Structure 1
Amino acid sequence: MKRAAFKMKLKPGFREEYKKRHDAIWPELTALLQEAGIHDYSIFLDEDTNTLFAVQKITGDAGSQDLGKTQLVQRWWAYMADIMETNPDNSPVSIALPEVFHLD
């Protein structure tokens, strides 16, 4: 099993909308993530900087940010694009973070 962490950026003023959308995450998206081996997935928000910090455990070959070729993930990206910093293809600007410490 691998762990992956990355950061993204929420546009100011969209904390509640971001939470609302994730509280109602599409069941088919949850299924896709689980089928890809992604689990124990959490996203935290630094409210001072609007930085989203995500961490996930992965038993498959790729993390959630690698599923962007699927139509479902592309739809999710388009759905979230108005409240996050995104690339031209609507994917979230995502910066992988190296692990420097882990206590099991």
Structure 2
Amino acid sequence: MIVSSSLERVCFELRVRPERIDEYRARHAAVWPDMLRALRDTGWRNYSLFLREDGLLIGYFEAESAESAMAAMAETEVDARWQADMAEFFEDRPGGGLRRYLEVFHLEDQLAGLAD
């Protein structure tokens, strides 16, 4: 995993059931305020979700430690409620979790290594 400016960058994939995409989008247009605060307070930064029309969902966030941020979030009461409420939207969740991607390139990291 590549780390820059002390933040770990995480990209992950999930699959939203195609027949539930519209409702999934609507739910994310107004996420519960206590969920937003919990994400912030457990160290999730620059968190975004990208949804393709076939249901492929790509997520991205940064954290001092992704493992610590995810573990802290999993311990919150609001996350338990949110996960239970959202579980029906997903086709598969490998081991109940996220299918993470390995970062292989980051522009700023390589630019920082140039000797201009």
Decide: shared fold, TM above 0.5: yes
In structure 1, what is the equivalent of residue 106 of structure 2? Answer: 102
State whether structure 2 residue 69 is matched by structure 1 residue 53: no
After superposition, residues 54-93 of structure 1 pair within 5 angstroms as 54-60=59-65, 62-63=68-69, 65-66=70-71, 67-85=73-91, 91=96, 93=97
- Number of equivalenced pairs: 99
1:86 Cα offset (Å): 5.1
1:94 Cα offset (Å): 1.8
1:6 Cα offset (Å): 0.6
Q: Given the two structures, how large is their TM-score scaled by the length of structure 1?
A: 0.81
Q: Is the 8 A contact 2:38 2:76 kept in 1?
A: no
Higher helix share: 2
Overall identity of the aligned pairs, in %: 31
Q: Given the two structures, how large is their TM-score scaled by the length of structure 2?
A: 0.74
Q: Which runs of 4+ in 1 moved over 3 A?
A: none
Where structure 2 has 5 or more consecutive residues not aligned to the other structure, the ranges are 1-6, 109-116
Say which SS state the counterpart of residue 81 (structure 1) adopts: helix
Q: Is the 8 A contact 1:38 1:60 kept in 2?
A: no
Where structure 1 has 5 or more consecutive residues not aligned to the other structure, the ranges are none
CA RMSD of aligned residues (A): 2.1
In structure 2, what is the equivalent of residue 13 of structure 1? Answer: 19
